[in-house]
Amino acid sequence: MESTTALRHTPLFDRHVTAGAKLVPFAGWEMPVQYEGVKEEHLAVRASCGVFDVSHMGEIQTEGPGAQALLQRLLSNDVSKLDVGDAQYSVLCKEGGGILDDLFTYRLGEDSYLTVTNAANHEKDLAWFERHAADFECTVGDRLESWAMLAVQGPDARGIVAGLAEAELPPRMRAERVPLAGDLDGVTALVCGTGYTGEDGVEILVEPGAAERLWDALVAAGAVPAGLAARDTLRTEVCFHLYGNDMDESRNPIEAGLGWCCKEDTGFIGAEAVAKARSEGTAEKLVPFAFTGPGIPRQGNQVLVGGEPAGEVTSGTFSPSLEKGIGMAYVRADAAEPGTEIEVDVRGKRRAARIESRPLYDPTKKES
Partner 1 sequence: MAAESYPEDLKYHPEHDWARIEGDQATFGITWYAQDALGEVVFFEPPEVGATISKDSAYAEVESVKAVSDVYAPLSGEVTEVNEALADNPERINEDPYGEGWLVKVKLSDPSEADQLLDVDAYKNLLGSDS
Nearest-approach distance from CB 22 to partner 1, in angstroms: 8
Nearest-approach distance from CB 23 to partner 1, in angstroms: 14
- Phi, psi of 319, deg, nearest 5: -95, 110
Nearest-approach distance from CB 198 to partner 1, in angstroms: 17
Nearest-approach distance from CB 285 to partner 1, in angstroms: 26
Task: Give whichever of 48 and 299 is closer to partner 1, judged by the CB atom.
Answer: 299
Nearest-approach distance from CB 97 to partner 1, in angstroms: 32
Task: Give whichever of 38 and 206 is closer to partner 1, judged by the CB atom.
Answer: 38
Task: Give whichever of 115 and 301 is closer to partner 1, judged by the CB atom.
Answer: 301
Task: Give whichever of 42 and 285 is closer to partner 1, judged by the CB atom.
Answer: 42
Task: Give whichever of 43 and 148 is closer to partner 1, judged by the CB atom.
Answer: 43
From CA 71, how far away is CA 108, in angstroms rounded? 14
Q: In what order do the strands lie in the sheet with 188-192?
A: 175-179, 188-192, 201-206, 148-153, 50-53, 224-225
Task: Give whichever of 69 and 296 is closer to partner 1, judged by the CB atom.
Answer: 296
What radius of gyration, in Å, describes the C-alpha atoms of the chain? 20
Nearest-approach distance from CB 301 to partner 1, in angstroms: 11
Residues making contact with partner 1 (CB under 8 A): 33-34, 37-39, 42, 229, 232-233, 294-296, 298, 317-318, 320, 325, 347, 349
169 alpha carbon, distance to own chain's centre = 21
Task: Give whichever of 311 and 325 is closer to partner 1, judged by the CB atom.
Answer: 325
Nearest-approach distance from CB 229 to partner 1, in angstroms: 5
CB-based contact 100:108 (threshold 8 Å)? no
Task: Give whichever of 45 and 277 is closer to partner 1, judged by the CB atom.
Answer: 45
Task: Give whichever of 42 and 263 is closer to partner 1, judged by the CB atom.
Answer: 42
Nearest-approach distance from CB 46 to partner 1, in angstroms: 14
- In order of 109, 247, 273, 282, 286, the CA distances from 251 in angstroms are 33, 6, 11, 10, 10
Nearest-approach distance from CB 53 to partner 1, in angstroms: 18
From CA 226, how far away is CA 224, in angstroms rounded? 6
